Amino acid sequence: MKYLDEYRDGALARRIAAEIASISTRPWVLMEICGGQTHTIMRYGIDELLARNVELVHGPGCPVCVTPLETIDKAVALALRPGVILVSYGDMLRVPGSQLDLFRAKAQGADVRIAYSPTEAIKIAHANPDRQVVFLAIGFETTAPANAMAAWDAKRQGLTNFSMLVSHVLVPPAIRSLLSSPHNRIQGFIAPGHVCTIVGYEEYEEISREFRMPMVVGGFEPVDLLEAILMLVRQLEASKACVENQYVRAVSRAGNRVAQRVVNEVFEVADQKWRGIGGIPASGLRFRSEYAAFDANLIFDLAPIATEEPAECISAQVLQGLRKPTDCSAFTTRCTPETPLGAPMVSAEGACAAYYHYRRHNLVALEESK
């Protein structure tokens, strides 16, 4: 596939890794923000390739993992109501709520359907005029324009049986929160490539200046990530701190203005709770008042839900890059993808799940060598 295969070239990837090793005078600690990037790193073993020179710490860029527990519970509660069709992206189906996840709700008779695109939810609403269709609209800035378009379509088409349960998160406030922590060890960031196709990287330049932090906007294939890491290490070795763009084929500094306008028309910035981290001011999106008719939070009478995460789960520290999944006493024993204790084990993009699926054998080998 064009623009994909070329960036999976094994020989080129190894050469970039060798170059990184040859220019590093000391080990560096870098964070990749995006869950999709974590997935590539784990799947292709990029962390293993760079083990001696770069420590890759995985950030909270997994909207599935950080969707608040309350939102899952609300989605489950709505799904279980007769007359409601709950439509969701596939990733969300196994995220555990306080009692159930959407998959188990389906087993109990809820009408839960998977959609690849929010346009499918609109189609379902048209096809089922006597039912209430609720779309669980989650994501980072990358998904916000598509989710916004769904609301825009619904408004234009005069749909009266369609609403969205919105849980959107924004990356820059999360980065600021991480970098403001006294425990921060991150020395450079791989900025999320697809988020930046939408929003550009001007805001990242502000963060880079404020915290003297090197940042490179990176893509999602092995060559992209290795190139971004190489660019970061070159900055660090030269004591530079600025924003560079590795993902030039898809990202421009200004981003996609049309997409930004669509988001601004439908949503506004709001405070947001991040599962495993807590509340971060101005880090989320909610519907503007003009779109109140599509806000599931307002349409449905949903009882407030109090939630508590298990004490053993260290996801807060994993999501902030302070500890690795392998540091956790419950990892692979009490906490597995089938029985997750916390958010990062839930989604395939979560750091704990990625470690479990792709790296468990390193633990096994460690055990065997004891």
Partner 1 sequence: MCLAIPGKVLEINELQGLRAGKVQFAAITRAVRLDLVPEAVVGDYVLVHVGFAISCIDEQEARRTYEILREMGVWEGELPPAEEPPPEHSAP
Partner 2 sequence: MSGKSIIDMVCPVPFTTSNTVLLGHGSGGKLSNDLVRDVFLPAFGNPELAQLNDQAVVRVGQSRIAITTDSFVIRPLFFRGGDIGSLAVHGTVNDLAVGGALPLFLTAAFIIEEGLPMDVLRRVAQSMQQAAKAAGVRIVAGDTKVVERGKGDGIFINTTGIGLVPEDLNLSADRAQPGDVILLSGSIGEHGIAILAEREGLEFESALQSDSAPLHELCAAILSASTSVRCMRDLTRGGLSSAMNEIAAQSNVGIELNETAIPVRDEVRGACEMLGLDPLYVANEGKLIAIVPPDVAHSVLRAMRANPRGENAQIVGRVTGSLPGLVTMKTPLGTSRIVDMLAGDQLPRIC
Which of 111, 48, 7, 58 has its CA nearest to residue 352? 58
Residue 302 near residue 203, CB atoms below 8 Å: no
Q: Report strand pairing: 84-88 vs 28-34.
A: unpaired
CB of 355 to partner 2, least distance (A): 10
Contact of residue 338 among partner 2, partner 1, none (CB under 5-8 Å per partner type): partner 2
Beta strands in 11-155, from DSSP E residues, in sequence order: 28-34, 54-61, 84-88, 111-114, 132-139
Which spans of this chain sit near partner 1 (rule: CB under 8 A)?
A: 1-4, 6-7, 12, 15-16, 19, 33-36, 61-63, 89, 116-120, 139-140, 142-143, 145-146, 149, 153, 156, 192-195, 197-198, 220, 223-224, 227, 230, 246, 248-251, 256, 258-259, 262, 349
Shortest distance, CB of residue 29 to partner 2, whole angstroms?
20
Please tell me the distance from the alpha carbon of residue 359 to that of residue 370, in angstroms, as a whole number: 18
Closest CA to 136 of 180, 89, 190, 91: 89
- Label residue 212 exposed, middle or buried (CB < 10 Å: 0-12, 13-18, 19+): exposed
Q: Which amino acid is at 85?
A: I
Strand segments, DSSP code E, in 52-118 are 54-61, 84-88, 111-114
Q: How far is the CB of 284 from partner 1 (least distance, A)?
A: 14
Residue 156: which of partner 2, partner 1, none does it interact with, CB under 5 to 8 A by kind? partner 1
Residue whose CB is less far from partner 2, 187 or 246: 246
Residue 286 interacts with, from partner 1, partner 2, none (CB under 5-8 Å by kind):
none
Place of tokens 């909610």: 286
CB-neighbour burial class of residue 299 (10 A; exposed 0-12, middle 13-18, buried 19+): middle
Contacting residues toward partner 2, per CB under 8 A: 1, 4, 8-10, 13-14, 35-36, 39, 42-46, 48-49, 62-64, 69, 89-91, 93-94, 96-101, 103-104, 106-108, 113-116, 120, 139, 143, 222, 307-312, 330, 334, 337-342, 347-349, 356-361, 364-365
Q: Which residue number, 58 or 100, has a Cβ lying nearer to partner 1?
A: 58
State which residue, 12 or 179, has the beta carbon closest to partner 1. Answer: 12
Q: Which does 341 bind (CB under 5 to 8 A by kind): partner 1, partner 2, none?
A: partner 2
